Structure 1
Amino acid sequence: MMKIFQRKISIPAYFIFIVLLFGLLGVYSVWGQGEVAKGTEVGDAASAAEAEPLVNEVKKVVWWHSMSGENGQVLDMLVTNFNAAHKDIKVEAVYQGSYFDSLTKLKASIGSKLGPTMIQVYDIGTRYMIDSKAVTPIETFVDQEKYDVSRMDKAILNYYRVENTLYSMPFNTSNPILYYNKDLFKAAGLNPDKPPVLYTDLAQTAKKLTKDGVSGAYFGSHSWYMEQLIANQGAELVNVGNGRDGRATEWQLNGEAGVKALTWWKELVDSKAAMYSATKSDEFKKVFAEGKVAMIFDTTAALRDILHSVDGKFEVGTGFFPKPTDEGGGVVVSGASNWIMNSKSDAEQQAAWAFMKYLSEPEQQAFFHVNTGYFPITEKAYELPIVQENMKQFPQFKTAIDQHNAAKRNLATQGGVLGVYPEARKLTDNAIGQALSGQKSPQEALDAATLEINAKIDVYNKALK
């Protein structure tokens, strides 16, 4: 058989046949190796990624946030700069509406793949985020790489540290301050460099400023102000160590400190020295910028926006939040922090952590501070020329920082932690409106709100069990 085969195939043809045969074997060998390599890549994807991530792999981080307007533009610049410097990570910042709206959307997304990698949550969402079991505590990343948190503001860290665990990374920090029209102060014979702090002084000042179509004050009707007014008296918002020694069971805003604050506020309105509106709009800022109101309360985060609105028509002064006596506690850390969701891959969570560290750098905090009014969470930011020069040009930026540093460090100023805090705040908003409009006395309004809030706390705590 071999002889017949040899006689029928010429030498060149036989040679070509051998070459083709070995070529096919080579192709099969290469293909087989490729399949083995491919099988290894699929089968051991997790271990391979842990051993050595692909250099060209881009990890996407979806960041839900609640920064709009000028503050949102500043945030977008931070994201753009980070993406330009990190080719292996792409952060996509997605505005989700107000803090309340964003948290509501997050609650709906938990358990699905629709949620973000990380989310900016306001301070009062802390207890819910912990109880959701849907987050990876920041303490995990801090411990893994021995990240130094000592360079960050201790009081700010302590707000987001619950049961000795840092659950989220502080980002934008604020507190409420008094804004006032220095020109109107001068016209009324008042010292424009000495804003009132005590209740009695502020009431007298408001009465002197109320004339010629100008109202002395316009404070809106926000629960946040009431919460700060009782902390400034050293009183705790909820029981069980302000919710830090265990899960809170009772809302305490209807106690002596709360009633005292709301009674003072109502007296201001009743005397016509302060305006009151049932709407939750930003009308108070508009009339302040027009020179029709001499004093308002607002967050320090609104400082840059207010200065732009006034646009040099008069000199804007800033002062500490009021209190009844020189004794007391201080204001509570407010603002928001960033949380990492545990439903995402380790690589995606690590990318989010890298972005969080970037946001906490002195340079980024300094940039965010001078362009918004939020004060830095990193102490070294104050040493940078951009911050020092801004302080010289706009000394108003220093007020919130001085007020923060002057606060006594105790459970009252550390802030309350509560699972139904957003709902409690809405009920308190209504109570303030009822008291200021005369529908109920301050005690009656706060008692009624407290009754409803405590019922919600009870339902929430039972659901967790």
Structure 2
Amino acid sequence: MRKLNKWLIAAASALALLVIGNTAVHQWAPSHTVATPGGRTVVTLWHAMNGPNGKTLEAMVARFNKSQQKYWVEPVYEGGYSLTQSKYINTLHSNVSPAMVQIDQGNGAATVGINNYTPVQKFIDKEHYDTSQIYTNVLSAYTLRGQLLSVPFNSSSAVLYYNQDLFKKYKIPNLPQSPTYSEVANAAKLLTQRAGDKLKGVTLQIYDWLPDSLVANQNGTLVNNGNGRDKVATKANVNTPEMRRVFTWVQGMIKDGSFQNYGTGSGASANQMAGFLSQKLGIFMQSSAAMGTIAKSAKFKFGVTFMPHPDNVPANGVAVGGASFWITKDKPADVQQGAWEFAKFAISAKEQAAWQAATGYIAVNKNALKEPVLKQAVAKNPGLLVPIQQLQAAKTNAATAGPFYANLNEAAQYIQVAMQQIYAGRDITAALAEAQRKTDQAIQATNAVDYELLNFDHIGQ
């Protein structure tokens, strides 16, 4: 375990230095404190929500603090997901580490690996908490060895957005709820041609989560051993029929001139959104959490569908993205209990309804749809229902549970390089084979550090 902790801390430190330059990692601490009413147990929550989403979370915390007199949750924004986890790892077992931390789904395996969390299954079993109110596939994302490890909070899924006004203008039928690759490609081609090349029909951002979602929708996993959930992953699934279908589809749209490549990185994401909102792009795929931005900014009617699937392959569903709350196990029992009490409050139907209405993230609680605030939001923007319907229609299997392995971030880099090469015309199989080889090497190197701990045999003990 000491070897793995050193490896994780080294990786976190390297990442942090890239982000914050010369800041000494051992000096990280919460960025602010607030006055705490006397007699309450303080629960520090480190989170990764900024901007309007951060304000919405802070308002939720304020409602919890007002709702009872025993606990006081102090929310502290610590940067994006990667930086928040880096700070968490570098403050382990210190007096500045948080009682609860928000970790994205892709970094769950690393969090399990450092083994400084209390599985929330412990609290669920103790008080017979009813988890049936939470969507099954949301629970699956954070469950290992039959144990729910953390509390799902902000969940999202990849969906397809398209400009219905442009479709109407150029006499193109609206897309069905669960479109095929050919339906999307045909619509993109007609849109580009009928607009006289004044716009592009479609894009797929160079962002690994999107092809990963398209693979899951074919019931494909990203690593072996049940997507890393049956036992530790030893091999990646990159150069697969499922992944090759995705990029054969994309290359076809590139060749017919209907595809727009916005490049890589955060700039690509912003430019893609700008292209869609300025009606220079007809179709794109992105997180359901982007829906709030689109609804506020679009000057046209837009549609939302499930992620597409190949014509001859039935839709399987996609894995959720987003993040969850992890409870730190080296904190006193009363602090851990306070963290759990807040987590329950945060995933209640009322709070999740308000959360989805304000942010666009999926309300993880099924009963949230009965709440007036979400009913009103859905009436105004019916697209909010689509990611929930996609979640409800999805199969429950390893593909929709999502990958669980420590090298997910490295794998993301390799698949994104492969995407750049494929978009530039490189042979699909050759590009994916290279990404496969590099990912396999990374997995093998990590497994060599401490295979036993990475296999998560300590879970449930």
Q: TM-score, normalised by structure 2?
A: 0.85
Letter of the 2:200 counterpart: S
CA–CA distance in structure 2, aligned partners of residues 266 and 75 of structure 1: 41
In structure 1, the partner of 2:423 is 436
CA–CA distance in structure 2, aligned partners of residues 194 and 411 of structure 1: 26
In structure 2, the partner of 1:202 is 184
Letter of the 2:155 counterpart: T
Letter of the 1:182 counterpart: Q
Q: Are 1:99 and 2:99 counterparts?
A: no
1:295: how far off? 0.9
Gap runs ≥5 in structure 2: 1-36, 452-461
Choose from 118, 123, 144 the match for 2:126: 144
The 10-residue stretch of structure 1 (318-327 or 244-253) with the greater mean CA deviation from structure 2: 318-327
**Contact between 1:359 and 1:365, CA under 8 Å: does it hold in 2?**
yes
CA–CA distance in structure 2, aligned partners of residues 342 and 425 of structure 1: 30
**Contact between 1:60 and 1:348, CA under 8 Å: does it hold in 2?**
yes
CA–CA distance in structure 2, aligned partners of residues 106 and 434 of structure 1: 35
In structure 1, the partner of 2:222 is 237
Q: 1:40-61 CA deviation, whole Å, 9 max, x = no partner?
A: xxxxxxxxxxxxxxx9522222
SS of equivalent to 1:190: coil
Q: 1:125-168 CA deviation, whole Å, 9 max, x = no partner?
A: 12111121111111111122222212221221122110111110
Q: Are 1:314 and 2:300 counterparts?
A: yes
CA–CA distance in structure 1, aligned partners of residues 78 and 200 of structure 2: 36
Q: Are 1:215 and 2:200 counterparts?
A: yes
Count how many residue pairs are aligned between Structure 1 and Structure 2.
408
Moved over 3 A (4+): 111-114, 192-196
In structure 2, the partner of 1:65 is 47
In structure 2, the partner of 1:349 is 336
Q: Are 1:126 and 2:108 counterparts?
A: yes
**Contact between 1:196 and 1:205, CA under 8 Å: does it hold in 2?**
no
1:177: how far off? 0.7
Letter of the 2:262 counterpart: S
**Contact between 2:262 and 2:272, CA under 8 Å: does it hold in 1?**
no
In structure 2, the partner of 1:263 is 248
CA–CA distance in structure 1, aligned partners of residues 78 and 282 of structure 2: 34
Q: TM-score, normalised by structure 1?
A: 0.84
CA–CA distance in structure 1, aligned partners of residues 325 and 431 of structure 2: 34
CA RMSD of aligned residues (A): 1.7
In structure 2, the partner of 1:366 is 353
Choose from 123, 126, 142 the match for 1:160: 142
The 10-residue stretch of structure 1 (88-97 or 257-266) with the greater mean CA deviation from structure 2: 88-97
CA distance 1:207–1:413, change in 2 (3 Å):
same
In structure 2, the partner of 1:182 is 164
Letter of the 1:321 counterpart: M
CA–CA distance in structure 2, aligned partners of residues 180 and 197 of structure 1: 12
Q: Are 1:329 and 2:311 counterparts?
A: no
**Contact between 1:177 and 1:319, CA under 8 Å: does it hold in 2?**
yes
The 10-residue stretch of structure 1 (325-334 or 244-253) with the greater mean CA deviation from structure 2: 325-334
In structure 2, the partner of 1:427 is 414
**Contact between 1:227 and 1:253, CA under 8 Å: does it hold in 2?**
no
Q: 1:217-257 CA deviation, whole Å, 9 max, x = no partner?
A: 12211100111111111111110111111111111021111
CA–CA distance in structure 2, aligned partners of residues 452 and 108 of structure 1: 27
Letter of the 2:183 counterpart: D
CA–CA distance in structure 1, aligned partners of residues 446 and 175 of structure 2: 47
Choose from 340, 350, 362 the match for 1:375: 362
The 10-residue stretch of structure 1 (352-361 or 146-155) with the greater mean CA deviation from structure 2: 146-155
In structure 2, the partner of 1:339 is 326
1:361: how far off? 0.8
1:193: how far off? 6.2
Q: Are 1:254 and 2:239 counterparts?
A: yes
SS of equivalent to 1:450: helix
CA distance 1:110–1:380, change in 2 (3 Å):
same
Gap runs ≥5 in structure 1: 1-54
CA–CA distance in structure 1, aligned partners of residues 226 and 368 of structure 2: 32
CA–CA distance in structure 1, aligned partners of residues 356 and 116 of structure 2: 30
The 10-residue stretch of structure 1 (385-394 or 197-206) with the greater mean CA deviation from structure 2: 385-394
Choose from 448, 456, 464 the match for 2:434: 448
CA–CA distance in structure 1, aligned partners of residues 148 and 262 of structure 2: 39
Choose from 108, 114, 117 the match for 1:135: 117
Letter of the 2:252 counterpart: E
CA–CA distance in structure 2, aligned partners of residues 398 and 327 of structure 1: 21
CA distance 1:361–1:195, change in 2 (3 Å):
closer
SS of equivalent to 1:295: strand
Q: 1:271-321 CA deviation, whole Å, 9 max, x = no partner?
A: 2211112232221111111111111111111111111121xx111111111
**Contact between 1:196 and 1:202, CA under 8 Å: does it hold in 2?**
no
In structure 1, the partner of 2:457 is none
CA distance 1:431–1:113, change in 2 (3 Å):
farther
CA distance 1:245–1:117, change in 2 (3 Å):
same
Letter of the 1:224 counterpart: W
